[in-house]
Structure 1
Amino acid sequence: MNAVAIQLSIIVGYLLVALAVGLVAYRLTDRTAEDFYLASRTLGTIVLLFTTFATLLSAFTFFAGPTIAYEQGPEWILVMGLMDGIIFAVLWYVIGYKQWLLGQRYGYVTLGEMLGDRFGSRWLRGLVAGVSLVWLFPYVMLQQVGAGTALEALTNGAISYAAGAGLITVFMILYVVAAGMRGVAWTDTLQGAFMLVTTWVALLWVLAAVGGPGVATDALAANSDTAGYLSLGGGVYTVPWILSTAITIGFGVAMFPQVNQRFFAAGSRTVIKRSLALWPILCVLLFVPSFMLGAWAAGLGVAMPDSGNILPAVLAEYTPVWFAALVIAGAMAAMMSSSDSMLLSGSSYITRDLYRPFVERDLSDRREDLLARGGVAAFATAAFVVSLFQPGTLFAIGEAAFSGFAQLALPVLLALYWRGTTRAGITVGILASQLFYGASLFLGFVPSSYAGWTAGLVGMGLGLFVTVTVSLVTSPAAAERRAIYFERPGAD
């Protein structure tokens, strides 16, 4: 059996397994919106940890991360594997634990719902949802683009880009509509374990083929193009850039809808605390081998393929066809494991924070459940249609989404921990930072960096300053519920 047949067999097998899991989950799912979105807030430590892990890190780890390490050096491990492993773990507790407590007490499902209730504003609720969807939409689309492109290349054009992207979209709609959070979390757990195992096997296989880590590292030093990779601070890795990137990614991750919503889904406070403690370890276990494969490939002289992804080339050079096919097919599955969670969260923001407050306030739970499943189909279909045109602007938004979501983080932190935050303060703070950061992306006269510090980090500082300043000079609105974030919740 050739490589193409092996890869297609693995992809089809994954689709069938995922669909089977979805059908089992559907039989165990209550027909309520809360169960569809949050699995009735019952996720345990392993499932919560691995569903967050697979949703967030899958396709990036297989493709973008090793390529960055190949082109710029292995310090990328510091940015993602260590700094963001730690930064996000801290935010998982500081933001996630507080959100979990509030969700248990008041039944919140989305970030916008939580903020809208505290500040007595459906417009703030809609603003948070709208901003989130702006950054989330291109991310879903990019997964479809990636899957369609990969299938087209995999089959040498037998499956066209449009047919491949359409096939993946139809499957995701069927699966997510049936499975909800419960099924998505189960398959993500399998996917996360798969990623860890195959990445470490790949690392050991390649190192055995080249003679060990010492030989691979010596090749980096001997290669004139990569000799600087063995010293810190080369190329793009300036202190301002490293800190800016690590901070915006770490804070942005905490605001990604598919990640943030999982804070509400934990089964207990113990689950939250164990998960945040294990997260940095999991990041290091995955990032170190995958990124080092990329860096070592540069020293060993592995040529970058036309796809722009170095990992497939490394595997093709040093591992058997069947194993390389297994890893790349797994990367395809990883794209889908990210997309299904994005579709689920996007649907909840549309249905819960836009439709419910502005169209049909007296929405029954059963009708909301049906609308939520329909929202998945609508969101996925819209992203697929746009992906057929592959507009450059949306690609730019997709690449910048981490910093875009990061603009929400500090106003949210203030709202959670500072009683003095007012409706006007948080609203203007979110708008100011989003407008500033958007201008830095699309308006040429607005700088994208300031003495090496990125506009994303500067925008976060602006949002913090505006939120505090406006809150200090404005009075709370009559509908605000200033005490609810500071009352002691009941038992677990």
Structure 2
Amino acid sequence: MVTQPQIAIAVVLMYVVVLLGLGYRSYEETERGNIEDYFLLGRKLTPIFGILTIFATFQSGYFMFGNVGFFYQFGFPWVLGSLASSPLVVAFLWYFGSRFWVLSKKFGHITIPRMFGHYYQSDTIRALLALLTVIFLIPYIVVQLLAGGLALEGITNGLVSFEMGAAFMTVVIIVYTVIGGFRAVTWTDSIQGVFFFLMAWILMVYFLIDHGGVSAFFGDYVSQFSKGMSYTGLLGVDLITLHVALFLAFVVGFIFQPEFYRRAIASKDLSTLRTISIGAGAIVLLAYIPTMFLGFGIKMAMPGIENADSALPVFLGEQYPYLGTVVIAAAIAAMMSTADSLLCTISATVVDDFYRPYVNPDADGDSLERIGWAVIAVSMIVAFAVSLTEPGFIAEITAIAFTGFLVLFWLTIGMFYWDGATAAGGIASLVAGLVTIFGVKYGGLGLPQLVSSFGFVIYTFIVTGVVFFAVSLVTTPLPKEHIAEYQSLFDRHLPGDADGREPNPAEVPAGMDD
């Protein structure tokens, strides 16, 4: 007789066969030796793929297990913060993403560190941002492996251990990311994102039907957990400080990840990017809603789960193992879709911001592509090794990973709004950010945590901003003609500025045309 764990393994293996098939198809369609095609899909990302690949990036191990775990453990306090993600995705991607697109198209940037380094006329900023990208994206890959390992262990009732599950994911992700590049990422993202989106909504509808509708659902929740819908939540944590910390990390920090804006610069044109921003914001909102119902519903059904991160797989494994097989397979798919995207970003960054400028400026496209493959493999193996050390609560690891990119908010403000921004200010802010994150988080600076264990997020945002502006005020600003060149680009090419036309092909470097 076929058992549920065997069915779970078969479902996951069938899905992996599909993944590898897409990876091979992507390999055949990718122009060998063309790193722009490998890392940016030749800048031809279309609206549907763009919306789904951004959405799949949201649907990470944190989103599915960590976010559900947040609602399970905290109750109400994260509802408003989660829903705030949607309008900000639209606003940031539309406004900042459009400007990044214009700059990358004009100057040929394929990475965000290169873009900032060019504006601030600083190789040091480019190198520091590249280092920051590697340092803070690898922990986010670790989150995917932690969640995936827990999921595989849960749906197979231990037949596949956490270590085996994480190792399996590591190998699969390396293989299809290496052979397919960003093209494989976008294709698999599209499938994975829709897969889990449908499963999450189906499970949410089940909870609502089981409790007799939305009103009855929340009535049952409050009757069991009177503090669950209060402003302090189940743990009695002050709403304001918790929201500030979580909002800065999981909304602003997430949106300023280099891999998020890499979708913007890969877009086919500005019209495509605007469509992507609206569509991504809408689908992100629709995706966050079921995680709230899942967290609350599982809390009512199984209130004693010790590890909130494992609430979803534990509930499904014990209550509905066959349904859980499909749902968790979808979740694992979405986790892999996030990890492959992160790997592409790390690989592009190391190749374009370390290897090419500092090691081998004359490297040809084939050599750069091979280096990119090696970076993908090494980064994934490092992430796997870290995942085996049980580094902590998924939400905390994710918060550290996202907080590392808060400094980009200030550098972006300087690039688009403030003529007084300087390279020295950017460098000082980047260094201050690294020191603050690890100094506050691990106690070296001796500052109070402010709220739960997320206080380091607030400190980092404040310190990096203060340092950026303070140092910029007392150091040499960028040349006026350099700033004017950038502003003229925005005036000519962006809607609402001048005529809003698309970039003139004559102004675009050779080889960069659509």
Given the two structures, how large is their TM-score scaled by the length of structure 2?
0.87
What does residue 28 of structure 2 align with? 27
Asked whether the 8 Å contact 1:70–1:294 carries over to 2, the reply is yes
Q: Which amino acid in 1 is paired with 2:195? A: F
Asked whether the 8 Å contact 1:219–1:300 carries over to 2, the reply is no
Gaps of 5+ in 1: none
1:462-481 to structure 2, matched below 5 A, reads 462-476=463-477, 481=482
Q: Secondary structure of the equivalent of 1:420?
A: coil
1:413 and 2:410 matched: no
What does residue 436 of structure 2 align with? 436
Asked whether the 8 Å contact 1:216–1:300 carries over to 2, the reply is no
Residues 93 and 446 of structure 1: CA distance in aligned 2, closer, same or farther (over 3 Å): farther
Asked whether the 8 Å contact 1:221–1:299 carries over to 2, the reply is no
Structure 1 position 72, deviation (Å): 1.4
Residues 400 and 169 of structure 1: CA distance in aligned 2, closer, same or farther (over 3 Å): same
Q: Which amino acid in 2 is paired with 1:33? A: I
Structure 1 position 177, deviation (Å): 0.8
Q: Which amino acid in 2 is paired with 1:141? A: V
Structure 1 position 445, deviation (Å): 4.3
1:358 and 2:343 matched: no
- Supply the distance in 2 between the matched residues of 1:307 and 1:396 (Cα, whole angstroms): 12
1:328 and 2:328 matched: yes
- Supply the distance in 2 between the matched residues of 1:307 and 1:454 (Cα, whole angstroms): 20
Moved more, 114-123 or 387-396: 387-396
Asked whether the 8 Å contact 1:136–1:401 carries over to 2, the reply is yes
- Supply the distance in 1 between the matched residues of 2:481 and 2:124 (Cα, whole angstroms): 13
- Supply the distance in 2 between the matched residues of 1:479 and 1:120 (Cα, whole angstroms): 13
What does residue 369 of structure 1 align with? 369
Asked whether the 8 Å contact 2:4–2:156 carries over to 1, the reply is no
- Supply the distance in 1 between the matched residues of 2:388 and 2:311 (Cα, whole angstroms): 25
Gaps of 5+ in 2: 494-502, 506-514
Q: Secondary structure of the equivalent of 1:35?
A: helix
Asked whether the 8 Å contact 2:150–2:310 carries over to 1, the reply is no
What does residue 217 of structure 1 align with? 218
Structure 1 position 398, deviation (Å): 4.5
What does residue 274 of structure 1 align with? 275
1:49 and 2:48 matched: no
Q: Secondary structure of the equivalent of 2:132?
A: helix
1:128-167 to structure 2, matched below 5 A, reads 128-167=129-168
- Supply the distance in 2 between the matched residues of 1:198 and 1:237 (Cα, whole angstroms): 33
What does residue 378 of structure 1 align with? 378
Q: Secondary structure of the equivalent of 2:241?
A: helix
Structure 1 position 438, deviation (Å): 2.2
- Supply the distance in 1 between the matched residues of 2:127 and 2:361 (Cα, whole angstroms): 13
Q: Secondary structure of the equivalent of 1:346?
A: helix
What does residue 263 of structure 2 align with? 262
- Supply the distance in 1 between the matched residues of 2:62 and 2:337 (Cα, whole angstroms): 12
- Supply the distance in 1 between the matched residues of 2:322 and 2:72 (Cα, whole angstroms): 24
Moved more, 45-54 or 308-317: 308-317
- Supply the distance in 2 between the matched residues of 1:297 and 1:153 (Cα, whole angstroms): 15
Structure 1 position 279, deviation (Å): 3.0
- Supply the distance in 2 between the matched residues of 1:341 and 1:237 (Cα, whole angstroms): 35
Structure 1 position 149, deviation (Å): 4.0
What does residue 499 of structure 2 align with? none
Deviations 1:225-269 (A, max 9, x none): x11223444422512321332133222112223212212111111
Residues 417 and 49 of structure 1: CA distance in aligned 2, closer, same or farther (over 3 Å): same
What does residue 180 of structure 1 align with? 181
Residues 292 and 162 of structure 1: CA distance in aligned 2, closer, same or farther (over 3 Å): closer
Residues 107 and 449 of structure 1: CA distance in aligned 2, closer, same or farther (over 3 Å): same
What does residue 17 of structure 1 align with? 18
Q: Secondary structure of the equivalent of 2:419?
A: coil
1:127 and 2:128 matched: yes
- Supply the distance in 1 between the matched residues of 2:75 and 2:394 (Cα, whole angstroms): 28
Percent same amino acid at aligned positions?
28
- Supply the distance in 2 between the matched residues of 1:305 and 1:432 (Cα, whole angstroms): 36
1:189 and 2:190 matched: yes
Q: Secondary structure of the equivalent of 2:323?
A: helix
- Supply the distance in 1 between the matched residues of 2:75 and 2:476 (Cα, whole angstroms): 51
Please point out which of 68, 71, 88 is paired with 2:70: 68
Structure 1 position 59, deviation (Å): 2.2
- Supply the distance in 1 between the matched residues of 2:467 and 2:384 (Cα, whole angstroms): 37
- Supply the distance in 2 between the matched residues of 1:153 and 1:83 (Cα, whole angstroms): 31
Asked whether the 8 Å contact 1:347–1:375 carries over to 2, the reply is yes
Deviations 1:301-334 (A, max 9, x none): 554266742223444576x532221001211222
Residues 368 and 61 of structure 1: CA distance in aligned 2, closer, same or farther (over 3 Å): same
Deviations 1:152-197 (A, max 9, x none): 4444554444433222212111100111111111110111111221
Deviations 1:384-437 (A, max 9, x none): 234344456999655421222213221232123323222112111222233222
Residues 237 and 89 of structure 1: CA distance in aligned 2, closer, same or farther (over 3 Å): farther
1:36 and 2:35 matched: no
Q: Which amino acid in 2 is paired with 1:380? A: M
Deviations 1:25-56 (A, max 9, x none): 11111121111111011111221111111122
Residues 484 and 114 of structure 1: CA distance in aligned 2, closer, same or farther (over 3 Å): farther
Q: Secondary structure of the equivalent of 2:253?
A: helix
- Supply the distance in 2 between the matched residues of 1:92 and 1:322 (Cα, whole angstroms): 39
Q: Secondary structure of the equivalent of 1:405?
A: coil
Moved more, 482-491 or 252-261: 482-491
Residues 457 and 357 of structure 1: CA distance in aligned 2, closer, same or farther (over 3 Å): same
What does residue 488 of structure 2 align with? 487
Q: Which amino acid in 1 is paired with 2:240? A: V
Residues 291 and 17 of structure 1: CA distance in aligned 2, closer, same or farther (over 3 Å): same
Q: Secondary structure of the equivalent of 2:486?
A: coil
- Supply the distance in 1 between the matched residues of 2:328 and 2:88 (Cα, whole angstroms): 30
Structure 1 position 347, deviation (Å): 0.9
- Supply the distance in 1 between the matched residues of 2:393 and 2:279 (Cα, whole angstroms): 37
Runs of 4 or more, structure 1, over 6 Å off, are 477-480
Given the two structures, how large is their TM-score scaled by the length of structure 1?
0.91
Structure 1 position 481, deviation (Å): 4.2
Q: Secondary structure of the equivalent of 2:405?
A: helix
Structure 1 position 340, deviation (Å): 0.8
- Supply the distance in 1 between the matched residues of 2:349 and 2:274 (Cα, whole angstroms): 26
Q: Which amino acid in 2 is paired with 1:59? A: G
- Supply the distance in 2 between the matched residues of 1:148 and 1:480 (Cα, whole angstroms): 53
Moved more, 429-438 or 104-113: 429-438
1:233-244 to structure 2, matched below 5 A, reads 233-234=232-233, 235-244=236-245
Q: Which amino acid in 2 is paired with 1:439? A: G
Aligned residues: 488
Moved more, 455-464 or 109-118: 455-464
Deviations 1:338-379 (A, max 9, x none): 111111111111111111121112222232122212221122
